[in-house]
Structure 1
Amino acid sequence: MTVDDRFSQDFRGTGDDPPLGTRNEIVTGPVSDWATDFSHLEPEWAADPYPIQDELRQRCPIAHTDRFGGGWLPTRHEDVAAIAYDTERFSSRSIIMSNFRPPREVAPIGGSPPISSDPPFHHDARRLLLPAFTKTAVARREASTRALCHELIDGLAGQDVVDAARDYAQHIPMRVIADMLGFPPEDGPRFRQFIENALEGVNRPPEERMEGMEQLFDYLLVQIRDHVDHPRDDLTTYLIDAELYGRKLESSHVAGTMALLLIAGIDTTWSAIGASLWHLAKTPRDRERLVAEPELLPTAMEELLRAYAPVTMARLVKEDMRWNGVDMKADDWVLLSFPAANRDPEQFDRAGEVVIDREVNRHAAFGLGIHRCVGSHLARMELRIALEVWLERIPVFGLDDPAAVTWATGQVRGPRTLPIRIG
């Protein structure tokens, strides 16, 4: 079988929004009541979701919306955890709440295994990726990541104001993931386009989203062909050659996993680095302490992950049911807001504060349940190195204009523009 035979016939539409999905009208515009009409795409949610989540947790802990064809938003840690662990009643076949619901037939594999996979397939698909993300494997990338961070800061020399999101944070995971997959490092700007379409473009017409997904998978097919012709020691060649149940992975599995690593592996870490720098820029006390006590950084980093967890995941209800006092319908969305869970005062003391020396911190920034982030060691390494190098090279900095900071909409929240004044 040639590469074209294996990777062209069923390559299209292997993302989280396959063309066969059921279309649902998206209702946009101002929210009338967050308890009955929530929308994670509105500007006030992107700018500061925490007061909204806190108010819902007190008034209506499981909010509802008719947008996107119907969905739910639990805000208590207890409820988020219960759904995350309940694979019998909630499916992961689509993890992005949008105007498409992939047909039930895509389960248990889904479009982007293993994150879109249900048991029992999920376990085996996840196990394939584990060797690439162990602490030992990640440690081998630390030196090159540190060198990249220094290179990026060298490029900021002579500037009084820099965009820490666009000029620093985003480039770190882009380069790391490109190196892992064996993609050209100069393709970073294309990765940004793919990310924005997949994660921030869910309000666009379905035809535009499909066009964006086709561009992504066209790109992946080019990379796969190159790796088949020129195998090397990277994750793409590994996936092409990997076997499951005694045979090579389906082309859709390979492509979907590569898309997952490219998109989720970049945006989540980019957002975490940016949010951490934003906090330190606006909180001189914490910045000065970390500069004076660099050994505190690993502890502080976990608190920044808790307080500014970037990721919210979606699930789909499998069957009509009464769940914790609400009537959920089959194929309703459920948004698992790990940021909301991380700020539940029933779970964390001083939940709404950033306590950089917090010692007990079992946060959910990397998710809960079987889909807990397989790349957590990698993300932690990138975040730690990014902050270490920045604080070493730029110990004095602050927000140039707080009103100029913008945040991504959708399910991965982080600064998209972050003007920082140096010195």
Structure 2
Amino acid sequence: METDDRARTSPPPHVPADRLYDIDLYKPDGIETDGYLKAWKRLQDEKLPGLVWSPFNGGHWVATTGALIREIYTDPDRFSSQVLFIPKAAGEKYAMVPSKMDPPEHRPYRAVVDKGLNLRAIREREPQVRALAASLIDQFADRGTCDFVGEFSAEFPIQVFMTMADLPMEDSPKLRALASGMTRPGGNSPEEMAANLDRANKGFFDYVGPIIDARRGKPGTDIISLCVNTDINGAMMERQKLLGMISLLLLAGLDSVTNFMNMMMDHLGRHPETVAILRDNPEELRRAVEEMFRRFPLVAAARMIAKDIELDGVELKAGEMVLLPTALAGLDEEQNPDPWKLDFHRSRISHSTFGEGPHRCAGLHLARLETTILLEEWLKRIPTFHVVTGSEPRFESGVVASVDNVHLEWEAA
């Protein structure tokens, strides 16, 4: 395998030999030829056990079924969020809250984050989000072609979030680079990756520190002001936790949705029959969007095992890590029959794209709104389109996968 030249960690004695598999989160086998989702789905196609051990990235378990991924996400007593990223050495450098907190400590901090991201707050922003999407699409709709990444996805969700946070758009390239350094840290060893993630984490803290100081104690409706001026259990939030909270908002708002949109639009550009269904049934678009999130998952976070337990017939020891590739939840045949098919009438849509349990993604309402508006405004102006002949997306795996090189074209009006 291509990953054989990377650092390996010997499995601990309690790991059975038949549970050892070469799985590299950052370079899954087949990603360059088959793409991100098929590279991960291969683990299920090969009928691997529910839990397997990988020697890469410091050594860790991997959950390979949707049922196990959901079970682990929803059980913070056995699976802690104190370390969320693989390799563990890098995950230990991650200092953002409340995502790295366990209940009950996590709950009041999550309530603060939800103030600016709850369903009502997001619905109030719909006119502004719609106007931005329309204006971006109008810039290229009459041209008949676009670089979707450069001209839309790298602008739309980021402009939405920077506006919600009242931050200058010229800061977005720096923040996107920091986000990439967190979710796809470079390096050929856990130690190198830990150093790179730590550098990106500190970069976020250095950026948000002056912003927190400027907005604390002052009224404001932007999402940062709402957080920094809210007490926790009747007391002012510690500065270090505020640094982690505001940094988390930026990290979450600047990476995941952009790459999801790239994956989705590349697929639609290759399947005109699916575009026709969306175009001809606008009343069903919101349900279709949920099916899109099932079909195009791109997060692979992790949990730390909190205590010695047995699961799926193997022993798990406290302190070990288990990877949760959400691709293996949304594309699991046991959860979703015929999972590769985009079925907008699927009776039960099952996925873990937004996570599960107490740490389910706080930004899910915004992600759904942005995706729905993208499709609505796009199809009004560009009812049929396809990928440019010979154009192939580029994938990079990580805690959040990246998707680049999406070029679309259509018959201009």
The code of the aligned residue for 2:7 comes to V
Give, as a single letter, the amino acid of the residue that structure 1 aligns with 2:294: R
Partner residue in 2 for 1:41 = 26
CA contact (8 A) 1:300 1:358 kept: no
Q: CA deviation at 1:372?
A: 1.1
The answer to whether 1:297 aligns with 2:277 is no
Could you give the per-residue CA deviations for residues 12-64 of structure 1, whole angstroms, max 9, x where no partner exists?
xxxxxxxxxxxxxx738xxxx99512012116347233354344462333221
2-structure distance, mates of 1:151, 1:72: 46
Which residue of structure 1 aligns with residue 71 of structure 2? 82
1:216/1:307 CA distance change after superposition, 3 Å: same
1:311–1:413 CA contact under 8 A, matched in 2: yes
- In the other structure, the counterpart of 1:27 is 7
8 Å CA contact 1:299, 1:358 repeated in 2: no
Matched, 1:276 2:264: yes
SS at match of 2:116: helix
Contact 2:270 2:387 in 1 (8 A): yes
Q: Secondary structure at the match of 1:310?
A: coil
Question: Do the aligned partners of residues 102 and 413 (structure 1) sit closer, same or farther apart at CA in structure 2, a change above 3 Å counting?
Answer: closer
Q: Judging changes above 3 Å, is the alpha-carbon distance between structure 1 residues 89 and 378 closer, same or farther for their aligned structure 2 residues? A: same
- Contact preservation (8 Å) 1:35, 1:60: no
Residue in 2 that maps onto 1:10: none
Q: 1:184-203 to 2 correspondence within 5 Å?
A: 184-203=168-187
The aligned counterpart of 2:361 is: 373
Deviation at 1:296, TM superposition (A): 2.3
Distance 2:352 2:319 in 1: 25
1:258–1:154 Cα change, 3 Å: same
Report the CA distance between 1:227 and its aligned residue. Answer: 2.2
- How far does residue 345 in structure 1 lie from its aligned partner after superposition? 1.3
Check the 8 A contact 1:134/1:377 in 2, yes or no.
yes
User: Is 1:172 equivalent to 2:149 in the alignment?
Assistant: no
Q: Aligned partners of 1:402 and 1:286: how far apart in 2?
A: 21
More displaced stretch, 295-304 vs 315-324: 315-324
Deviation at 1:250, TM superposition (A): 0.9
Q: SS of the counterpart of 1:275?
A: helix
Where does the alignment leave 5 or more consecutive residues of structure 2 unmatched?
Answer: 1-5, 9-17
In 2, Cα distance between the equivalents of 1:160 and 1:222?
A: 43
Shifted more, 179-188 versus 200-209: the winner is: 200-209
Equivalent in the alignment of 1:352: 340
User: Which residue pairs with 1:23 in the alignment?
Assistant: none
Q: How does 1:230-379 map to 2 (within 5 A)?
A: 231-379=219-367
Residues matched between the structures, number: 390
Are 2:196 and 1:226 equivalent residues in the alignment?
A: no
1:150 and 2:137 matched: no
Taking only the aligned residue pairs, the percentage that are identical comes to: 27
Q: Per the alignment, in what secondary structure is the counterpart of residue 300 of structure 1? A: helix
Q: 1:342 and 1:371, CA in 2 relative to 1: closer, same or farther beyond 3 A?
A: same
Q: Which amino acid aligns with 1:61?
A: G
Residue 408 of structure 2: aligned partner: 420
- Tell me if the contact between 1:315 and 1:334 (Cα under 8 Å) persists in the aligned partners: yes
Cα gap change, 1:141 to 1:229, in 2 (>3 Å): same
TM superposition shift of 1:311? 1.9
CA shift for structure 1 position 307: 0.8
Moved more, 121-130 or 395-404: 395-404
Residue identity opposite 2:56 in structure 1 = R
Q: TM-score, normalised by structure 1?
A: 0.85
- 1:259 is displaced (CA, Å) by 1.2
Match of 2:114 in 1: 130
Structure 1 residues 243 and 224, CA, compared in 2 at 3 Å: closer, same or farther? same
